[in-house]
């Protein structure tokens, strides 16, 4: 929560515009975050994960600061180009791409692509041929599976392949005339263990060695994202991640360090945003004095807080009564969907004096909120967003 | 799947417009569904749950057929009015409403409101006073909790209160000068047990009696939704629900049957829609022959198939290879979100000959798809929708 956000919200209320929830994102915080990453990992290029928050103001700030960009779709590539970054600073990092989208990306100048199987390599080779792009200029990196111990949101096995298979995938790329460029992995979202990169870097180094034996010189290790943002619990400083990653790199690669890139998304914008919402209803389900309160906000799972799914992310919530006594409540969203409940298994503690009409501030909501919002579920409009 | 939908999709492909997933919804099926409900429950008014699919063509067809409408927000009320229904055919069925939204609804002519606590009753009374609406003309019904045994998607305790508390809530409404109109409940979504209404109707009848003793004559029982649509398993016919509900009504209310309304959403539009999607990738995570395939579609949890959450709803999926041998696969969406996996705990059986680029048809997707789609997650546009 910054003074700039506080002032923006004060003015918005004064002008009577505060009907409906909104996200306010402070670009000064994004700037600080970028600089922290750049300092903590000085030899590593930063590829901002655009999906975390694709607001044009965020992209153009990061483009000015020298950031590169990890994109998931052609639309995201176009947003990054429109924000002033050149195509050589863009990675098409989704391992699941339509061949025609690869072709469009190549036409837009993108030359760096993620894969995790041979079929995806073949799409890229065919798309390069179809668009007349020199295959030797097209770099592919293969994502490997890695366990996510220590992550608050461990990833499924959706992306990546077994390390042994990655060798075959990269060799296949090499055989088709593409540049077999490196290896990527992701240690899990909101990763609180700074040592989590060690095992995956061990696998990456083994792939580098085996590819070397087959005459293929890999260049790059993509360290992925996973850098946490502060919600309720404290998190290690970015510097601690930088040191730990550097130690693991040295341990596994010796003095032949590869190029490295990171893909922070949440870590870049999460703490830059605050959502202002309103209490719509406070009620109980029976007259039993001991029954827990239900507090209903005008934002829920379908309005931007999708990451409360399975109660994974617990956002800090500030109210105007925070000095009062707290009591547990079930926190829910405003839709007629019974799944639109934010915290119930582990009730959320809020002031007993909280009332209908009160504003609440949901902190750490700069990432994965605006774009997750549904188009118009129950007729509620998507989350408004202000970048200041 | 109807011949009209099949022809529409054929033409769309022929015109080269079939990039990206789309929903096609056949209004003829909606018409049949409405008529089935009207016939199966002849003395019950049908309030279509607009949130299931608010497409203007669906609303205007139902308005012409004489349907009433259950709405969740002011925007939905406006959509229904724009479709040609009058305000006396609209229920504001969300128990969680801002007071200013209640006032807007009153100004638009709506006079029927759901509540489940005294605070919500007070909002309605204040909003009526503020808008100069005669409180005696404003009807409120109180939602009660009921267990959801037999439902494929049991509801949380988010909506409704204990039956004993409902008596107090309705008495409070009466005391404030509103019309204490009745009781509502919801037996759970995709309810396959036709007897599920019995216990809740018992509670409703007890509330009618107790209110009667306190001098308050309730009039209406809102039987809610829960009527299933056919996914993979067979479901009972609408007629079976009608008969069972009528038996339960007679059992609990004797010859003093209340007015009744139902709120079908899924049951009205679910089977009217088919989503056409494309296979983006088929791959394995290792070279192990026994490993399950992953099949990635260009639609997933964030593009409209949110109801696959926890693998709750299993849609029937047709391909052009359905005569071939089937094998299990993990089915996933196209985004860079690791949670965007549709079926994994219970893998989905699809033809082994399924290939990248193949079209698939996801049936029973007329309800709870278009509006659940995210605004632009990963840069992917919301689900396209064609109503024919």
Statement to judge: residues B260 and B282 lie in one domain:
no
Residue B16 has pLDDT above 80, yes or no: no
Contact A284 B161 (CB under 8 A): yes
The whole-number pLDDT of residue A156 equals 79
Instruction: State mean pLDDT over B250-258.
Output: 95
* Residue to test with chain A: of B20, B293, B379, most A Cβ within 10 A: B379
Give A132-164 pLDDT, tens digit per residue: 999 999 999 999 998 777 777 677 789 999 999
Q: Is the ipTM of this complex over 0.85?
A: yes
Contact B94 A379 (CB under 8 A): no
CB A292 within 8 A of CB A331: no
Statement to judge: residues A136 and A171 lie in one domain:
yes
* Spatial distance between the Cα atoms of A206 and B206, rounded to a whole number of angstroms: 72
Residue B277's domain spans which residues?
Answer: 3-23+270-387
Of A145, A283, A335, which is closest to B119 when you measure between CB atoms?
A283
* Spatial distance between the Cα atoms of A340 and A308, rounded to a whole number of angstroms: 10
Statement to judge: residues B121 and B257 lie in one domain:
yes
Give B98-142 pLDDT, tens digit per residue: 999 999 999 999 999 999 999 999 999 999 999 999 999 999 999
DSSP tag of B372: T
Q: Shortest Cα distance from B255 to chain A (angstroms)?
A: 31
Statement to judge: residues B194 and B260 lie in one domain:
yes
Instruction: State mean pLDDT over A310-338.
Output: 94
Query: Which CATH number fits the domain that encloses residue A139?
Result: 3.20.20.10
Query: Which CATH number fits the domain that encloses residue A324?
Result: 2.40.37.10
Contact A371 B370 (CB under 8 A): no
Statement to judge: residues B205 and B354 lie in one domain:
no
Highest mean pLDDT among A17-21, A168-172, A223-227: A168-172
Contact A281 B117 (CB under 8 A): yes
What is the value of pTM for the model shown? Answer: 0.94
Domain boundary among B264, B282, B315: B264
Which residues from B are below 8 Å from A336, CB to CB? 49, 51, 72, 93-94, 159
**pLDDT band at residue B229 under the 50/70/90 scheme:** confident
Which residues partner with A280 through β-bridges?
A: none
* Spatial distance between the Cα atoms of B26 and B61, rounded to a whole number of angstroms: 11
* Spatial distance between the Cα atoms of A227 and A347, rounded to a whole number of angstroms: 26
Its sign, for the CA torsion A293, A299, A303, A309, is: negative
* Spatial distance between the Cα atoms of A184 and A220, rounded to a whole number of angstroms: 8
The whole-number pLDDT of residue B19 equals 81
- Please give the C-alpha separations between residue B243 and each of A83, B146, B248, B334, in angstroms, as whole numbers: 62, 21, 9, 44
Which residues from A are below 8 Å from B92, CB to CB? none
Give B160-177 pLDDT, tens digit per residue: 999 999 999 999 999 999
Average pLDDT, chain A: 94
* Residue to test with chain B: of A54, A224, A226, A338, most B Cβ within 10 A: A338
Statement to judge: residues A176 and A221 lie in one domain:
yes
**pLDDT band at residue A327 under the 50/70/90 scheme:** very high
Check if A336 contacts B (Cβ < 8 Å). yes
Statement to judge: residues A125 and A154 lie in one domain:
yes
Check if B304 contacts A (Cβ < 8 Å). no
Which residues from B are below 8 Å from A286, CB to CB? 161-162, 164-165
More confidently predicted of A15 and B64: B64
Which residues from A are below 8 Å from B357, CB to CB? 99
Q: Residue A67 falls within a domain, yes or no?
A: no
Which residues from A are below 8 Å from B76, CB to CB? 378-379
Statement to judge: residues A247 and A278 lie in one domain:
no
Domain boundary among A199, A229, A264: A264
The whole-number pLDDT of residue A1 equals 86
Residue B153 has pLDDT above 80, yes or no: no
Q: Residue A79 falls within a domain, yes or no?
A: no
Give B331-383 pLDDT, tens digit per residue: 999 999 999 999 999 999 999 999 999 999 999 999 999 998 998 899 999 99
Closest CA to B115 of B89, B93, B147: B93
Of B73, B306, B336, which is closest to A94 when you measure between CB atoms?
B336
Q: Residue A171 falls within a domain, yes or no?
A: yes
Give A75-99 pLDDT, tens digit per residue: 999 999 999 999 999 999 999 999 9
- Please give the C-alpha separations between residue B375 and each of A308, A385, B92, B306, B371, in angstroms, as whole numbers: 18, 13, 25, 13, 10
Closest CA to B4 of B22, B26, B21: B26
What is the total count of domains within chain A? 2
- Please give the C-alpha separations between residue B2 and each of A93, A226, B273, B358, in angstroms, as whole numbers: 39, 46, 9, 20
The whole-number pLDDT of residue B123 equals 98
Q: Residue A43 falls within a domain, yes or no?
A: no
Q: Residue B29 falls within a domain, yes or no?
A: no
* Spatial distance between the Cα atoms of A108 and B55, rounded to a whole number of angstroms: 36
Compute, in degrees rounded to 10, the torsion defined by CA atoms A278, A284, A290, A291. Answer: -100
Residue A198 has pLDDT above 80, yes or no: yes
* Spatial distance between the Cα atoms of A286 and B35, rounded to a whole number of angstroms: 38
Residue A21 has pLDDT above 90, yes or no: yes
Q: How large a percentage of chain B has pLDDT more than 70?
A: 99
**pLDDT band at residue B311 under the 50/70/90 scheme:** confident
Closest CA to B80 of B109, B123, B45, B116: B109
Closest CA to B143 of B92, B77, B75: B92
DSSP labels, B164-198: HHHHHHHHHHHHTTSEEEEEE----EEE--TTTHH
Instruction: State mean pLDDT over B242-260.
Output: 95
Residue B149 has pLDDT above 80, yes or no: no
Residue B228 has pLDDT above 90, yes or no: no
Statement to judge: residues A307 and A335 lie in one domain:
yes
Statement to judge: residues A239 and A319 lie in one domain:
no
Query: Searching chain A, which residue's CA lies closest to the CA of residue B381?
Result: A75
Average pLDDT, chain B: 94
**pLDDT band at residue A359 under the 50/70/90 scheme:** very high
The whole-number pLDDT of residue B30 equals 98
* Residue to test with chain A: of B294, B296, B338, B342, most A Cβ within 10 A: B338
Q: How many CA atoms lie within 13 A of A228 on its CB side?
A: 25
Domain boundary among A206, A229, A264: A264
> In chain B, which among 366-385 make CB contacts under 8 A with chain A?
370-382
Q: Residue A318 falls within a domain, yes or no?
A: yes
Query: Any idea which residues of B carry the catalytic annotation?
Result: 336
Q: Residue B48 falls within a domain, yes or no?
A: no
Q: Residue A46 falls within a domain, yes or no?
A: no
**pLDDT band at residue A231 under the 50/70/90 scheme:** confident
> In chain B, which among 213-232 make CB contacts under 8 A with chain A?
none
Residue B54 has pLDDT above 90, yes or no: yes
Contact B379 A100 (CB under 8 A): no
Check if A299 contacts B (Cβ < 8 Å). no
The whole-number pLDDT of residue A240 equals 92
Its sign, for the CA torsion B347, B348, B350, B355, is: negative
Statement to judge: residues A103 and A168 lie in one domain:
yes
Closest CA to A309 of B348, B337, B361: B337
The whole-number pLDDT of residue B289 equals 81
The whole-number pLDDT of residue B292 equals 92
Statement to judge: residues B356 and B239 lie in one domain:
no
Contact B19 A93 (CB under 8 A): no
Instruction: State mean pLDDT over B291-307.
Output: 95
Which residues from A are below 8 Å from B302, CB to CB? 306, 372
Check if A75 contacts B (Cβ < 8 Å). yes
Contact A156 B341 (CB under 8 A): yes
């Amino acid at each position: 929560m910054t003074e700039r956000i506080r002032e923006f919200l004060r003015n918005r209320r004064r002008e009577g515009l505060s009907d409906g929830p909104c996200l306010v994102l402070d670009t000064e915080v994004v700037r600080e975050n970028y600089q922290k990453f750049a300092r903590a990992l000085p030899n590593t290029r930063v590829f901002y994960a655009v999906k975390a928050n694709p607001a044009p103001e965020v992209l153009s700030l990061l483009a000015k600061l020298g950031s590169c960009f990890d994109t998931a779709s052609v639309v995201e590539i176009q947003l990054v180009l429109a924000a002033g970054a050149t195509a050589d600073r863009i990675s098409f990092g989704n391992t699941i791409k339509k061949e025609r989208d690869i072709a469009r990306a190549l036409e837009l100048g993108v030359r760096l692509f993620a894969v995790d199987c041979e079929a995806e390599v073949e799409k890229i080779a065919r798309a390069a041929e179809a668009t007349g792009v020199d295959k030797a200029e097209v770099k592919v990196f293969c994502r490997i599976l890695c366990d996510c111990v220590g992550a608050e949101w461990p990833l499924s096995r959706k992306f990546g392949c077994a390390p042994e298979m990655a060798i075959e995938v990269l060799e296949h790329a090499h055989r088709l005339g593409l540049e077999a460029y490196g290896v990527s992995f992701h240690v899990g979202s909101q990763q609180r263990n700074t040592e989590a990169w060690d095992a995956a870097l061990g696998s990456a180094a083994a792939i580098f060695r085996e590819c070397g034996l087959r005459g293929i010189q890999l260049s790059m290790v993509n360290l992925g994202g996973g850098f946490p943002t502060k919600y309720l619990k404290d998190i290690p400083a970015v510097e601690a991640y930088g040191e730990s990653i550097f130690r693991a790199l040295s341990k596994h690669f010796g003095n032949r360090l590869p190029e490295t890139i990171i893909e922070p998304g949440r870590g870049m914008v999460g703490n830059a945003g605050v959502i202002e919402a309103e209490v719509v209803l406070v009620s109980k389900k029976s007259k039993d004095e001991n029954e827990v309160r239900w507090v209903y906000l005008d934002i829920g799972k379908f309005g931007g807080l999708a990451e409360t799914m399975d109660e994974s992310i617990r956002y800090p919530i500030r109210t105007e009564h925070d000095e009062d006594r707290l009591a547990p409540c079930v926190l829910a969203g405003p839709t007629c969907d019974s799944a639109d409940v934010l915290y119930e298994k582990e009730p959320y503690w809020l002031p007993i004096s909280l009332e209908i009409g009160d504003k609440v501030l949901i902190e750490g909501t700069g990432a994965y909120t605006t774009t997750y919002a549904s188009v118009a579920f129950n007729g509620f409009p998507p989350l408004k967003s202000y970048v200041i």
